[in-house]
């Protein structure tokens, strides 16, 4: 069982600090779609960018169809305590602290009254990269209720070993990197009360079992970049899913489907470790049987639809049609649900 703890310091209540313990999230809690953004109106980077007008329309969508936007600190507190969430709840996160967050996204989010959290890699900020916000910008945002969390110090590919580095040496280096990021956030923004202590996002969404166990040992809750709703019943607190949004994933119809998705009730994943070779096999066991499960379809990066092989009722295996290329890949599995909504599950593959 996973045990993760985090303290929340809210910009709205500077003295708030809550210690929460999870062994996965409570099975009585509901689910929420967490969105992940990076850049805004930066045309040179389409894979991480969202156009300003598209973003404005997406924010309008968050207020439609009975959706409720919830601040990340409140979301994590409710999930940990098993408190109910509104149906179609959504949370907004932004990675990397690019300057366009301050210049473009923040005014729009503030006008819409939408809370959000920025995950900050602190070394590039300390180095004064011109594409990033500086600490004064973040302090100004923090004073207006924006929250910030750790995205490591270096924003390195943490899974990769350096030449001659042992497993123990890599873990020690990564631990120092993660703790440095947390420390610098507290030093620069702690006085504002806007730092979410013990909340972390994996750089590039990359992790392996050893790193995930390190985060667990630190008592942190971590977010990945695989898509799907966060579920109280079936979410691993070492790598919570988020829906990435960029120019390729800005269509309002597709985004509506993601916002309205339901968590596929996954009981187990074998192997859970994302690091794999070019021909991985993934066996997924679902909690319970439903009439919808035989209609489940899976989609592998760059290969389109791959039909799952059912090993038993509620248990299936998915294998890519062809060998995967090196780097980050994923498989998404969906099944039709009630009211035109879809059950959704995603698993990342990091091909060596």
List the domain boundaries for the chain: 4-260, 268-351
Residue where the block lists tokens 């910008």: 137
* Distance (Å, whole) CA 265 – CA 326: 29
What pLDDT does 295 receive? Answer: 93
Residue where the block lists tokens 């390195």: 156
* Distance (Å, whole) CA 207 – CA 235: 16
Is there a contact between 158 and 174 (Cβ–Cβ < 8 Å)? yes
pTM over 0.85: yes
What pLDDT does 127 receive? Answer: 98
Q: 4-260 and 268-351 share one CATH topology? A: no
Among 3.40.640.10, 3.40.190.10, 2.60.40.10, 1.10.1740.10, what is the CATH number of 268-351?
2.60.40.10
* Distance (Å, whole) CA 234 – CA 24: 7
Q: Which helix (H) or strand (E) holds 258?
A: helix 252-259
Among 3.20.20.370, 3.40.50.720, 2.40.110.10, 3.40.50.12500, what is the CATH number of 4-260?
3.20.20.370
Taking the chain (352 residues) in consecutive chunks of 10 residues, what is each chunk's mean pLDDT?
41 30 49 96 96 97 94 91 88 98 98 98 98 98 97 97 96 98 98 97 98 96 96 81 95 95 93 97 90 91 96 95 96 94 96 94
Helix then strand count (H, E) for the chain reads 9, 23
The sign of the torsion formed by the CA atoms of 194, 22, 347, 92 equals negative
């Amino acid at each position: 069982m996973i045990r993760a703890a985090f303290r929340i310091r809210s910009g709205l209540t500077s003295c708030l600090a809550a210690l929460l313990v999870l062994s996965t999230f409570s099975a009585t809690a509901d689910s929420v779609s967490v969105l992940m953004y990076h850049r805004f109106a930066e045309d040179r980077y389409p894979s991480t960018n969202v156009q300003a007008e598209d973003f404005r329309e997406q924010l309008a969508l968050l207020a439609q169809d009975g959706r409720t936007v919830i601040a990340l600190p409140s979301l994590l507190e409710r999930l940990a305590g098993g408190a109910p969430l509104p149906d179609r709840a959504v949370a907004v996160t932004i990675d990397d602290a690019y300057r366009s967050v301050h210049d473009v996204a923040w005014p729009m989010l503030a006008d819409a009254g939408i809370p959000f959290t920025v995950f900050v890699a602190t070394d590039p900020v300390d180095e004064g990269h011109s594409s990033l916000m500086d600490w004064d910008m973040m302090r100004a945002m923090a004073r207006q209720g924006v929250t910030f969390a750790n995205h490591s110090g270096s924003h390195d590919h943490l899974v990769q070993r350096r030449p001659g580095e042992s497993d123990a040496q890599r873990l020690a280096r990564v631990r120092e990197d993660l703790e440095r990021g947390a420390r610098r956030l507290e030093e620069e923004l702690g006085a504002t009360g806007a730092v979410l202590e013990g909340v972390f996002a994996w750089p590039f969404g990359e992790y392996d079992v050893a790193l995930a166990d390190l985060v667990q040992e630190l008592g942190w809750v971590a977010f990945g970049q695989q898509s799907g709703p966060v579920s109280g019943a079936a979410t691993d607190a070492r790598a919570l899913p988020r829906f990435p949004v960029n120019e390729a994933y800005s269509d309002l119809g597709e985004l509506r489907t993601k916002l309205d998705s339901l968590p596929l009730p996954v009981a187990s994943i074998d192997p859970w470790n994302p690091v794999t070779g070019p021909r991985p096999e993934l066996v997924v066991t679902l909690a319970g049987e439903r009439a919808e499960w035989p209609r489940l379809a899976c989609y592998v990066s760059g290969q389109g639809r791959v039909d799952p092989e059912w090993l038993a009722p509620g248990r299936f295996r998915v294998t890519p049609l062809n060998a995967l290329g090196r780097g980050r890949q994923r498989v998404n599995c969906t099944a039709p649900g009630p009211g035109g909504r879809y059950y959704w599950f995603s698993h990342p593959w990091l091909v060596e």
